[in-house]
Amino acid sequence: MTDSASTGAARTRRYEDILVVTLDHPPVNALSAAVRRDLSAAIQSAQTDNQVRAILLVGAGRNFIAGADIREFGKPPQQPLLPDVCNQIEASAKPVVAALHGAALGGGLEIALAAHYRVALASAKLGLPEVNLGLLPGAGGTQRAPRLMGAAAAVDLMLSGKPLSAEAALNAGLVDTLATEDDPLDAGLAYTRQLLALNAGARRTRDATAALADRQAALAAVDAAAERVAATARGLFSPARIVEAVRAAIEQPFEEGLRTERALFLQCIDSPQRAALVHAFFAERDTAKIPELKEARARRLERVGIVGGGTMGAGIAVAVLDAGLPVVMVEQDDAALGRGRARVEQVYDLLVKKGRIDAGERAARLARFSGATRYDALGDADLIIEAVFEDMAVKQTVFAQLDRVAKPGAVLATNTSYLDVDRIAAATRGPADVLGLHFFSPANIMKLLEVVVGKDTAPDTVATGFELAKRLRKIPVRAGVCDGFIGNRILAVHRQAADMMMEDGASPYDIDAAVRAFGYPMGPYQMADLAGGDIGWATRKRRAATRDPALRYVQIPDRLCERGWFGQKTGRGFYLYPDGARQGTPDPEVLAIIDEERRRAGVTPRPYTQDDILRRYLAAMINEAANVLHQGIALRPSDVDVVFLSGYGFPRYRGGPTHYADSVGLDSVLADIRGFAEEDPAFWKPSPLLVQLAESGRNFASLNQAA
């Protein structure tokens, strides 16, 4: 080894006749302009250094290269561009070896594909996740990956956005060998020395032919992918361009394929979807920027108690067990506890059946689960989550018991969807220890967690809620106290807008179709049938005494519930579900009930176009989002977007309600609301914040920057 070394984002040191280029750009070795510049300079200088026979690329820290530098998103590109650096690596006259560990993602994997040889440590994760940001691999990835792993595997890698393990990458042909060493430098040097001993020269990926030798099969794979994208990636822009780029790898010479890839990449860059998906990416990162985390740290969090073993309690238990924490579940009697345990076991049985975990892992997780029928069993818990029936009196009774048995400093959380967290906290002597943790069903799958902060909730209690979300790998959003918090409060308003359209002439099936066409996986009436109509009915009855008499009340959903038509679980709701079907079919009897209700209400039905439906549905959503922000229930518009993207099916490629509103123009949204107010001024009241922003020429995004 020589002592000569360089510094910088890609530092060099020569080990005998191997030049090691270490990419060192904390925390994840993202491909910043400095990394690209220093890497390019190192490759160039090695070409004329007679003491260098081979070049080894390694990453410092935990990763090879985790992808693009997100700090450069939206800024003018700086030279050298990544495609040029990749081409320079591939053109090297001396063999270039990439030693992969940790993340080798996006542009990081494109660097590795441009290298001549690849060795992977067991920790390596290789992926091309650009589709998640509305992009495609734009530095040769769509041309090189198919040449190494075949068209079918390459297009799957890019369309899924999910990484491969080192072993899977070896089997796919993406890497040449697996290292036995634990250190990437040791592994890379050992492999490079083997290659030099064999007099292995530069081996360019662009020249690889074996994986695409069966041209007919490769084109058939691309055609199948195109059909799949058309069927499943409805409304998305970049997946179809990915398929086009892979087709170019089969049909065009390499240089021409690179030009095709670049043109398609630039189309993606210019797409509004790319801006929306990037917004969503940053919005999720920003939810943890809350005042409480600046002044407090989370409390100890090693043991969790759960009160209630119903669907929600069992789902929360699974989420906590999956995070490696022990859980004690309390139910009112042995029979209820047995049902709760059975629900937890059922989830794990299904995971074993699907091959997601093995029987040993199932046993290990269930070994952390225990149950009891007395509240005293919760005495050692650091955090207790109540997940009982959505009734204020019931929850207050539970919290009075928790106040009796919880140890000092334990955090008490309610999993309420709507109820006043401050009233629940008032049942205890320590409201500073109480917060809301609104999980979304199924709780072990859904990523969103609304952390509801009461007027007396202590900062370290809030920090503990966010720490739990981190352990559970959920996306936490801070919410203030009001009926429904962020998501369900806004949902109630745009569902009311839908109900009014239904009474005025649009069928529930027309409304669902319009909302699906916008990009939602299902419409509001399909969702109501899935959740259970009795849930909303109970909420409506609870609110009846405080309902504003000036607001129109549509009784159609109540008529269905009075007949016991609660949706999928009863075989019919707004739709029919014969023989336990998961997919509903329109019900003529529902349409007859709607007609009868129109006559009772004195409504003459009128036609609604898809555009009419969406303008009202989205305007109601956006207007109530503005009210939620105006009242401080949400800290920033992007938090509202995260709630709807992660918990309510809002299409990610549209960025969320406030990002979408900015894209169409707040003045346009406000004009719609004022127009609708001519028919119904009680419901269509423009939010003061929306008026203020629209009339001053500002947008919701300006509030994200200020938060």
In whole angstroms, give the CA distance from residue 396 to residue 176. Answer: 62
Q: SS3 of 96, please?
A: strand
In whole angstroms, give the CA distance from residue 512 to residue 617. Answer: 11
Question: Omega before 272 cis (within 30°)?
Answer: no
597 given a catalytic annotation: no
Q: Which two tokens stand for residue 55?
A: 């070049």
90, 130, 261, 331: the catalytic one is 130
Helices and strands, counts by H and E, the chain: 30, 19
Strands 125-127 and 103-105: parallel
Residue 99, φ and ψ in degrees, nearest 5? -100, 115
Residues 6 or more apart in contact with residue 664 via CB below 8 angstroms: none
Q: Which two tokens stand for residue 457?
A: 């909730």
In whole angstroms, give the CA distance from residue 82 to residue 86. Answer: 6
Residues 6 or more apart in contact with residue 550 via CB below 8 angstroms: 682
In whole angstroms, give the CA distance from residue 23 to residue 31. Answer: 9
Residue 396, phi-psi category: left (phi > 0), alpha (psi -120 to 50), beta (remainder):
alpha
678 given a catalytic annotation: no
Residues 6 or more apart in contact with residue 179 via CB below 8 angstroms: 99, 119, 120, 121, 122, 187, 190, 191
Q: Where are the beta strands (DSSP E) in 304-367?
A: 304-307, 327-330
What are the beta bridge partners of residue 304?
A: 327, 383
Strands 585-586 and 575-576: antiparallel
In whole angstroms, give the CA distance from residue 175 to residue 109. Answer: 11
Q: Which residues of 243-259 are buried (b: 16+ CB within 10 A; e: fewer)?
A: bbbbbbbbeeebeebbe
| Largest Cα–Cα separation, the chain | 92
16, 72, 90, 110: the catalytic one is 110
Q: What angle do CA 215, 218, 223 make, to 5 degrees?
A: 125
Tell me which residue of 126, 125, 123 sits closest to 181, measured CA to CA: 123
Q: Residue 697 burial (CB < 10 Å; 0-12/13-18/19+)?
A: exposed
In whole angstroms, give the CA distance from residue 291 to residue 310. Answer: 34
How far is CA 211 from each of CA 137, 144, 246, 392, rounded to the nearest angstrom? 19, 11, 13, 63
DSSP string, 173-187: TSSSEE-S-SSHHHH
Active site residue ranges: 110, 130
